[in-house]
A and B are shown apart, each in its own frame.
Chain A
Amino acid sequence: MSNFIQVIFSSLEIGSIYALASIGIILIYQTSKMTNFAQGAIGMYSAYMATVFMRGTGISATLATIVGMAFGLVLGFAIDLLIMRRAKNASPVTLQIITLGIVLFLTGLAPLTFGAVPLAFPRFIENKSIEILGASILYNGILNIFIGFIVVALLFFALQRTKWGLAVRVTAANPTAAKVMGVPTKKVTMGTWAIAASLGALSALMLAPNTVVDVGMMEGVQLSALIACVLGGFQTFFGPVLGAYILAIVRNLFGFYISSTWGTALTYSVILIFIIFKPNGLIGKKKIKKV
């Protein structure tokens, strides 16, 4: 039983990280109709920035996280302003390849600017744990789970109740009509890029204490976040979040109870088979095609 609780809690923690990354991807998908492969790389670069800043000035991990998120925000603005805005008429596959180009650029830039040695990032709350039904859970893990829930809740509140949220939803539904009705779609797209990049930075810094800050740190998260989007469906904002938690729980259960080496491969295979039968994901709506 205690093992099971342990697995569930660690799944919820990693699920929160996936959820934040995947919500960034879905925000960009909804407003720009493209899948962002650079979410992880942006997070990785911002995490490097935060870690180096923290080492240079001696500020706390929490403050460094805010610095990292702010840097992500700027990076998101820059990517939209310098690259994405100029490629408005390109096909979705072309846009996807552009984000892969950004991935290559950031992966190359990181060792050049920060060196090839992996860096360590501390936990928000150091080494205190609590016993829940026989399982010992780190405070930091619980904090990460809460951060995930709170950020997701705030974002959904903003999407449903604020003017910005309305603008995003309108742009997502029909960009041309939204533009005609006076919605500043350019600003909306730029805003979603900035928020997505900032969430990428947050997810990278939540992950960092459990691994190291290095070039490849976000590869797994990027892949998982994309698969979470496929699993939950690209049509709603909520689907990918649900997909992220389900993916994390299923993978950890497979990894713990079936095989620790094949758990991930098995999870991907199961999801691939699932989307063959339900290509629009868990709660996706069917898209009607027009010639």
Chain B
Amino acid sequence: MEKKLKSRFNLLENVYINYILIGILFLIAIPLNQAGIIGGSVLITLGSVILYSVVGIGMNILLGYAGLITLGGAGFMGLAAYLSAYFTRDLNMPFLFSLIFSVGIPIIIGIGIGLISLRLGGYYLAIATLGIGEVLKQVFIEYDVFTGGFSGKSAGYINLFGLQFDRIGTYALYAVILIFALIIGHNIVNSATGRAFMTMRSSEAAAQAMGIRMLKYKVLAFVIATIYSTIGGIMYMHLIKFSFPTTWGLGMSLNFLSIVVIGGMKAIAGPVVGALFVIAFPDLVLKNIPIIGTSPGVAYIFNGVLIVVVLLFYNRGLIKIFTDAKVLIKKLIGGK
């Protein structure tokens, strides 16, 4: 009897159910919106949180688990966004076809960076990816037949099998994508591949001595991160419906770094917490503070301070607050 009770209690401890709960929590915003409690702009902000979380999960696998840093993530996201807009709007391709190409083309470049990362360690890699991001941004500015240059490029909501999504439909779809992104991410890091990543992170030389092939796993890590970034980019394009070359600069890549670090490296759901802090908090809370709230700098200051403070004093990330609080409460109640 006690055992049965315990297993029912353990339902909440099951990670998959937790991930589905995260998705459902996001879905609650839909009835709130229809009841008129929250506005449509809040829905868009929460949709952005979802897509930033998706990209963050990929970055977390790369940075938190494989220990490889990239500052060119925004470039890939932008590339996928423009490709998706180009294929669906200019060429009138069905969304699924467009999806294959918009994810596939950036992957080829991702493999290239994986190969570069074989030759370059920690700090060098960040700088090299920074260079690649800048080159991609220059391409977005100059190649205006395809990107619309400085005047930007627009796209519509997703049209899947002749079914046209509206704002609420898109949001619901994104919440479902987030659940899948979390579960797939969880399965990757808990597989042999994930263990290989973590060994690689702690010591490359030791990992090689254990028979882990650097070529395979470094390239794989970049490909996984690229897939997540491109899907995030496509989601951005069909939610915000507009894209400028300047969107995909270093600032965006730094956002992802903030999301991963603040939320918690080495925790799959960490980026969701991170994205809530980095994207939703400045938009929904900080903007409403009188006088300083209107300055564009406040969100930057908030993120910057949060990154430094989290890394100095709480380097497992804000997601661990929940477990730490639980332990603390148990201690207080149990008296031990």
Using CB atoms and an 8 Å cutoff, list the residues of chain A in contact with chain B.
29, 34-35, 83, 86-87, 90, 92-94, 96-98, 100-112, 116, 219, 223, 226-227, 229-230, 234, 261-262, 264-265, 268-269, 271-272, 275-276, 279, 289-291
Contact = CB atoms under 8 A, between A and B. Distances in A.
Contacts of A262: 138, 142
Highest count of chain A CB atoms <10 Å: which of B116, B257, B307: B307
A111 B295 contact: yes
A261 B128 CA distance: 21
Contacts of A102: 304, 308
Given A92-B123, A108-B299, A265-B135, 10 more contacts: A97-B69, A97-B257, A101-B311, A104-B301, A107-B297, A107-B304, A268-B131, A272-B131, A289-B204, A291-B209
B312 A275 contact: no
Nearest to A83: B308
A105 B301 contact: yes
Given A265-B135, A291-B203, A291-B206, A112 B292 contact: yes
A219 B127 CA distance: 13
A110 B297 CA distance: 8
Contacts of A92: 122-123
Interface string B124-136: 1011101110110
A104 B122 contact: no
Interface in B67-82: 67, 69
B205 A272 contact: no
Interface of B: 63, 67, 69, 115-116, 119-120, 122-124, 126-128, 130-132, 134-135, 138-139, 142, 203-206, 209, 250, 254, 257-258, 261, 292, 295-308, 311-312, 315
Contacts of A100: 254, 257, 307
Given A108-B299, A268-B135, A275 B69 contact: no
B124 A275 contact: yes
Given A223-B131, A291-B206, A94 B67 contact: no
Contact of B134 (A111, A234, A268, A279): A268
B134 to A, nearest CB: 6
A112 B307 contact: no
Given A104-B254, A265-B138, A98 B308 contact: yes
B126 A104 contact: no
Given A97-B257, A111-B297, A112-B298, A279 B124 contact: yes
A86 B312 contact: yes
Nearest to A94: B311
Contacts, number: 139
Contacts of A109: 297, 300-301
B78 to A, nearest CB: 15
Contact of A105 (B204, B206, B300): B300
Contacts of A275: 119-120, 124, 128
B300 A98 contact: no
Nearest to A90: B311
B289 to A, nearest CB: 12
A98 B307 contact: yes
Given A107-B297, A262-B138, A275-B119, A94 B315 contact: yes
6 contacts: A97-B261, A107-B300, A264-B134, A265-B138, A272-B131, A275-B124
B93 to A, nearest CB: 28
A100 B278 CA distance: 15
A290 B203 CA distance: 10
Given A93-B67, A104-B258, A291-B205, A226 B130 contact: yes
Nearest to A29: B123
A96 B307 CA distance: 11
Contacts of A234: 123-124
A101 B249 CA distance: 16
A35 B296 contact: no
B120 A97 contact: no
B135 A269 contact: yes
Contacts of B123: 29, 34-35, 92-93, 96, 234
A112 B295 contact: yes
A190 B160 CA distance: 58
Contacts of B139: 265
A35 B127 contact: yes
A103 B71 CA distance: 14
A108 B142 contact: no
B61 to A, nearest CB: 15
A39 to B, nearest CB: 12
Nearest to A278: B119
Contact of B69 (A93, A230, A265): A93
A175 B63 CA distance: 27
Nearest to B308: A101
Contacts of A94: 311, 315
A108 B138 contact: no
B146 to A, nearest CB: 15
B209 A104 contact: no
A219 B139 CA distance: 18
Contacts of B119: 275-276, 279
Nearest to A87: B312
A80 B123 CA distance: 20
A104 B300 contact: yes
A226 B130 CA distance: 10
A230 B132 CA distance: 14
Contacts of B300: 104-105, 107-109
Contact of A97 (B67, B292, B299, B307): B307
